[in-house]
Amino acid sequence: MKNYIYLLSLICIYVCISCSSPNNKKTKKLSENTVGKMQLKSIPLLNDSIIWNSKIIDFIDNRLIIESQNSDMVYSVFFYSNNKFHKEGDFGKKGQGPYEMLFPNCTVDKQKECIYLYDTQNSKKFYEINSKFFFDIYNQETWKEIHFPYVKESQLWQTFISIENNTFIGLGGIMNRNNMLSVIYPEKNKITELYVDFPEDGIVSKSLTKRLVYNNGNILKRPFIDYYLLYYCEEGQYAEIISLDDQMNVKNRKPIVNNYPIYEIRSDGINLKYIRKEFNGLKSYVTDKYIYLLPFSYSTKNNYKGYPNGYSDFLYVYDWDGNFIQSYKLDKPIATFVVDESNSFIIAITTNNETGEFFFVKFLF
């Protein structure tokens, strides 16, 4: 009888531990969510200018912001109307002078009607642009400079999102710490750790190595709601929803896909080598209602159905509670995409396999 009670106690402890850890919950692979998969047909969109890059930043006020690799400009803006794009202008400049950046990044906050432009390798270059008066984006004198807090320790940053009270959440932080995210208070000249540990991928490594792996990703804020965000990694296939309270405490972490990055630690104990077999990262876009995931497969021949690695023709949709909603099969692989605020259509960039030229396409839900 005593042995029976002892065994029953062990089982109860095991069940409790298993249920308490969010990363122990079984999460489906994206490929398993095929119920009701729908076919979407692309509509080619007319455009009056050459597209120099396949990376879309965002879609705001019928304007599409994309990265540019032409000359010394960083971003290009295309105005959208009646299934046509007209190039409106360029902003941001590559370099080390005033308003110039070597490693630029850009995020849009539709709630605040602001665009944030910053250099991930130089935190002194951080600007807020009022997108309510969109043409201010082309006039650097209207850009508001944000003074990033100074800390003595070495830092590593990837991207930022804005929340209320002129505060930011950053993907990154002090190199040798275990927090994946940090909270930045420019007006208080302070950075604090947000206690979101790196995902439990089962690989023993130093904090700096984990930061190198999981900084290779992005955080997206749920539009119009400050304390809901999506983190996704651009290695493996990993994405999770993170909710916070107004005191910056973590309320919940819910992985929606958890194929962790696979990597080996090199002899120095810090640097790493990725082992890519099946998965090659994710891209995501979020609206107030849904999370859209575009998963990439890995090919040693850099060939995905005639397109390079980094193209996909599958799209998966979740709500902000982490529930799977719908999967789509696109008739043409795409590299990056956005979804309009009413969740009625996709605008994406793909390529002509014969000429190598990029072009815009649209998919109707």
**Region 61-79 average pLDDT:** 90
Using 50, 70 and 90 to split pLDDT, how confident is the model at 313?
A: very high
pLDDT of residue 17: 37
The burial class, CB within 10 Å (0-12 / 13-18 / 19+), for 345 is: middle
Residue 333 in contact with residue 313, Cβ under 8 Å? yes
pLDDT (0 to 100) of residue 36: 60
Q: What is the mean pLDDT of residues 299-324?
A: 93
In a domain, 130, yes or no: yes
Residues 170-217: pLDDT tens digits? 999 998 899 999 999 999 999 999 999 999 999 999 999 999 999 999
**Mean pLDDT lowest among 24-28, 200-204, 260-264, 359-363:** 24-28
Between 5-14, 138-147, 295-304, the lowest mean confidence (pLDDT) is in 5-14
Residue 302, pLDDT > 70, answer yes
The alpha carbons of the chain give a radius of gyration, in whole angstroms, of 22
Give the closest residue to 83 by CA, choosing from 41, 49, 44.
Answer: 44
Which amino acid appears at position 273 of this protein? K
pLDDT at residue 124, rounded to an integer: 80
pLDDT at 328 over 90: yes
- Is residue 24, in this structure, part of any structural domain at all? no
The verdict on pTM exceeding 0.75 is yes
Residue 142 inside a domain? The answer is yes
Cα–Cα distance measured from residue 132 to residue 297, given in angstroms and rounded to the nearest whole number: 38
Please give the torsion angle defined by the CA atoms of residues 360, 280, 322 and 331, in that order, rounded to the nearest 10 degrees. 40
Q: How much of the chain exceeds pLDDT 70, in percent?
A: 90
Contact indicator for 262, 233 with CB cutoff of 8 Å: no
Tell me the C-alpha distance between 274 and 206, whole Å. Answer: 16
Does residue 311 lie in a domain region? Answer: yes
In a domain? residue 315: yes
| Position 9 pLDDT exceeds 80 | no
pLDDT at residue 339 in the model? 98
Instruction: Give residue 123's pLDDT band: very low, low, confident or very high (50, 70, 90).
Output: confident
- Over residues 266-275, the mean pLDDT reads 89
What pLDDT was estimated at residue 145?
A: 93
pLDDT at 33 over 80: no
Q: How confident is the model at residue 235 (pLDDT cuts 50, 70, 90)?
A: very high
pLDDT in tens, 112-121: 999 999 998 8
Reading the block at residue 338, the tokens are 């956005």
Residue 296: how many other CB atoms lie within 10 Å: 20
Number of domains in the chain: 1
Mean of per-residue pLDDT scores for the chain: 88
pLDDT at 26 over 70: no
The proportion of the chain whose per-residue pLDDT surpasses 90, expressed as a percent, equals 68
Report the pLDDT value the prediction gives residue 32, as an integer from 0 to 100. 61
89 within a domain of the structure (yes/no): yes
Weakest-pLDDT range from 31-40, 82-91, 98-107, 119-128: 31-40
Mean pLDDT of all residues in 107-135: 89
CATH code: domain of residue 107? 2.120.10
30 within some domain: no
User: Does the pLDDT value for residue 71 go beyond 80?
Assistant: no
Q: Tell me what pLDDT residue 98 has.
A: 87
Q: Is residue 353 part of a domain?
A: no
Task: Say what the pLDDT of residue 200 is.
Answer: 93
**Residues whose CB is less than 8 angstroms from the CB of residue 297 and which lie 6 or more positions away in sequence, other chains included:** 278, 279, 280, 304, 309, 312
**Res 296: pLDDT:** 95
At residue 21, the pLDDT reads 40
- Identify the pLDDT of residue 35: 55
Higher pLDDT, 141 or 18: 141
Domain limits at 119?
A: 47-333
